[in-house]
Amino acid sequence: MKHLILIFCSFLLAVACKQEHKNTELQLNFTKGEAFGTGYTVQFMANENIDLSKSYDSIVEVINRSMSTYIDSSDISKINQGDTTVVVDRHFKNVFEASKRIHKQTEGAFDPTIGVLVNAWDFGPEGKVISLDSAKIKTLLKSVGLDKVMLAEGKIYKEDPKTFIDFNALAKGYAVDVVANFLEHKGYTNYLVEIGGEIRVKGKNQVKNSPWKIGVEDPNFDGSQSYSKVISLSDNAMATSGSYRKYKTDEEGNKYAHIINTKTGYPHKSNLLSVSVITNTCMEADAYATALMTMGLQDTKDFLLKHPELKVYIIYEDENKELKTASFNGFPEN
């Protein structure tokens, strides 16, 4: 009988160990959805399947209420409409303060107040650029400049009431950071968060026992998708700004990017086609990628000499209209 009891207990122990092993086996949790007019994916490693989609949706909703220029009742829309009573939340404050810092570092190349000119340029439904009168551009430029906007006691103050603030150039990146911080607060240390191509990762894909793999897209004007390179990324964020997706042509066939030059007020026209930036936060990567696109090739090279913390990969056209690439500050080769 003792032997039977011993065998039975051993059997129970084996079953328990097997069950415990099953419960501790790592799984890749994957969620896909829509946010900010684009798509998002969240992947993280856990011992069980967990649905956090409602939490992601809540984060998106809060950020939209704060900073969406497409929602008339958002804080930023009210501020742009002239409401001086709005007390902004911590998300708005975080993005505003980062914008101020990057605006100063880039000598105005990054400027969330350029939106008044983005709205004024009519690219037309047929894809043709309809030029603005130079006097009109000069007038609109008077209301451009983040240095003319202040945050005090939770409220925004503008020197020119016509100044239009638009955080779309870094809001997606900021949202990526908020979701990533949420996952870390939950105790998940191996994850990938992506919104509209802006990405932040930590740890690795433990199921495959390999780093997270991120593709850098080729600048394909025909809308097809291919990759210039695929890199391994860990404990960093990456964002890409490109002129090859949102562009229009004038009567002479010149391509103009959706990015507006903050100094001239005209749509971006340069040989830079794509800029990918790797740094600590996705919000910063998003903002710097936009700023470098407006600078052009030589100014970008000069800027990156002073900012070795930014790993950058650019795709551009040379004088013969041939595609060229360049890496800076240790941007990974693979």
Residue 303 in this model has a pLDDT that exceeds 50: yes
Distance (Å, whole) CA 242 – CA 128: 19
Q: What is the mean pLDDT of residues 12-36?
A: 66
Average pLDDT, the chain: 86
Q: Is the dihedral of CA 71, 81, 59, 311 positive or negative?
A: positive
Range scoring the smallest mean pLDDT among 3-17, 74-88, 189-203, 277-291: 3-17
pTM of the entire predicted model: 0.86
Percent of residues, the chain, with pLDDT higher than 90:
62
Residue 134 in this model has a pLDDT that exceeds 60: yes
> What is the pLDDT at residue 125?
46
> What is the pLDDT at residue 133?
81
DSSP-derived 3-state class of residue 62: helix
Residue 19 within any structural domain of the chain: no
Q: What is the mean pLDDT of residues 15-19?
A: 42
> What is the pLDDT at residue 84?
94
Residue with more model confidence, 138 or 3: 138
Residue with more model confidence, 21 or 162: 162
Cβ 311 vs Cβ 299: under 8 Å: no
> What is the pLDDT at residue 243?
66
Distance (Å, whole) CA 54 – CA 42: 12
Q: For residue 40, what is the enclosing H or E element?
A: strand 38-46
Task: Give 1's pLDDT tier (boundaries 50, 70, 90).
Answer: very low
Q: For residue 174, what is the enclosing H or E element?
A: helix 168-185
Distance (Å, whole) CA 128 – CA 145: 28
Write down the number of H helices and E strands in the chain: 9, 14
Domain span including residue 109: 29-328
**Domain total in the chain:** 1
Burial class (CB in 10 A: 0-12, 13-18, 19+), 126: exposed
Range scoring the smallest mean pLDDT among 55-69, 122-136, 279-293: 122-136
pLDDT tens digits, 229-244: 899 999 999 999 886 5
DSSP-derived 3-state class of residue 98: helix
> What is the pLDDT at residue 251?
60
Q: What is the mean pLDDT of residues 75-98?
A: 97
Work out the number of other CB atoms within 10 angstroms of the CB of residue 168: 18
Distance (Å, whole) CA 180 – CA 202: 9
Residue with more model confidence, 174 or 318: 174
> What is the pLDDT at residue 16?
41
Residue 334 within any structural domain of the chain: no
Residue 8 within any structural domain of the chain: no
> What is the pLDDT at residue 236?
95
Largest CA distance in the chain: 101
> What is the pLDDT at residue 184?
97
Residue 23 within any structural domain of the chain: no
Q: For residue 34, what is the enclosing H or E element?
A: strand 27-35
Task: Give 38's pLDDT tier (boundaries 50, 70, 90).
Answer: very high
Instruction: Collect all residues with Cβ–Cβ distance below 8 Å to 175 and sequence separation of at least 6.
Output: 35, 36, 59, 60, 63, 195
DSSP-derived 3-state class of residue 77: helix
Residue 1 within any structural domain of the chain: no
Distance (Å, whole) CA 83 – CA 18: 62
Residue with more model confidence, 260 or 150: 150
Residue 20 within any structural domain of the chain: no
pLDDT tens digits, 195-240: 999 999 999 998 888 999 999 887 765 566 677 889 999 999 999 9
Instruction: Collect all residues with Cβ–Cβ distance below 8 Å to 11 and sequence separation of at least 6.
Output: none
Task: Give 245's pLDDT tier (boundaries 50, 70, 90).
Answer: low
Residue 201 within any structural domain of the chain: yes
β-strand 227-233 against 212-217: which pairing, if any? antiparallel
**What CATH number has the domain bearing residue 97?**
3.10.520.10
Q: Is the dihedral of CA 305, 311, 316, 322 positive or negative?
A: positive
Q: Is the dihedral of CA 134, 140, 141, 142 positive or negative?
A: positive
> What residue type is 146 in one-letter code?
L
Please provide residue 71's backbone torsions phi and psi, each rounded to the nearest 5 degrees.
-110, 115
Residue 13 within any structural domain of the chain: no
